[in-house]
Amino acid sequence: MDRPVVAVVCNTLLVDGRTTVQAVGERNLLALVQAADVAPILIPALPGAVDIGALLSIAHGVLLVGGRANVHPSRFGLDADPRHEPYDEGRDAVALGLIRACVASGVPLFGVCRGLQEMNVAFGGTLHPEVSELPGRMNHRGPRLPTGEFHPDPKVVFADRHVVRLTKGGAFSRLFDAETIVVNSLHGQAILEPAERVFVEGIAEDDTIEAISIREASGFALGVQWHAEYDPQGNRTNRLLFEAFGRAVAQRRHQAGRA
């Protein structure tokens, strides 16, 4: 059976210290196929290689995945700081323009972790490079071993770590039919000031913004700060998100077929 197409924006990575590659974590692709029932295609984070108009003529949705790199602070009026590297300016350029185009044209858009941050910046919001440095905030980064290395067990890394309080009457509270959910946490950068068009759908116990939608978007336009791509096959919260995205993408293809 053929599936609707979802464009997935890649991250720029350096492999073995010498080879630059465009890559997407496999969990994102499996979540799209197994939970959203769509066919993913990879889009390079290379501004000169991406024609947004042409892309949206064939893609029925866009997924913005998480990534190691922070959004470059020049995108929201601040100076770069070596402490907050790496940056991925190619992805910034592709993603920010793509976000605005999706919202304007009604193409379903789902932002995960860095994707949520990009959605906020695309409409004029700001970020903080290390949210745990703000007074009263918790450490939102993933767990590490006593040696300082990342924990090797995915079940530990992606375990549910904190509650998100959902905005009453918002898209997320309606989707989950709940006032709160529990999610994983694997990020340093987070929203500082939400853009005027960003509606805050959910916040963590320390008031960190965890879920957003875009006001007056003509289609699905949701973002989450946690890694929703982890185990949507078994995690109800993440499954419901990808299923909702998949339905929106399928509807977009149906509408495009009638045009």
- Looking at residue 159, what is its pLDDT? 86
- Looking at residue 16, what is its pLDDT? 87
- Listed in sequence order, the DSSP H helices in the chain are 26-31, 52-58, 89-105, 114-122, 154-157, 171-176, 236-258
Architecture of domain 5-258: 3-Layer(aba) Sandwich (3.40)
- Looking at residue 256, what is its pLDDT? 83
Q: Which of 252, 259, 255 is nearest to 5 (CA)?
A: 252
- Looking at residue 4, what is its pLDDT? 97
- Looking at residue 258, what is its pLDDT? 64
Is residue 128 part of the annotated active site? The answer reads no
Q: Which of 134, 141, 189, 132 is nearest to 161 (CA)?
A: 141
> Over the Cα atoms of the chain, what is R_g?
17
Task: Output DSSP code: residue 147.
Answer: T
Q: Which of 95, 124, 126, 97 is nearest to 112 (CA)?
A: 95
Q: What is the mean pLDDT of each run of 10 residues along the chain (259 residues)?
A: 92 92 96 97 96 96 95 93 91 98 97 98 95 89 84 86 96 97 93 98 97 96 97 94 98 83
Is residue 113 part of the annotated active site? The answer reads yes
Is residue 210 part of the annotated active site? The answer reads no
- Looking at residue 259, what is its pLDDT? 57
Could you state, in order of their start, the residue ranges of all structural domains in the chain? Answer: 5-258
Residue among 84, 102, 113, 201 flagged as catalytic: 113
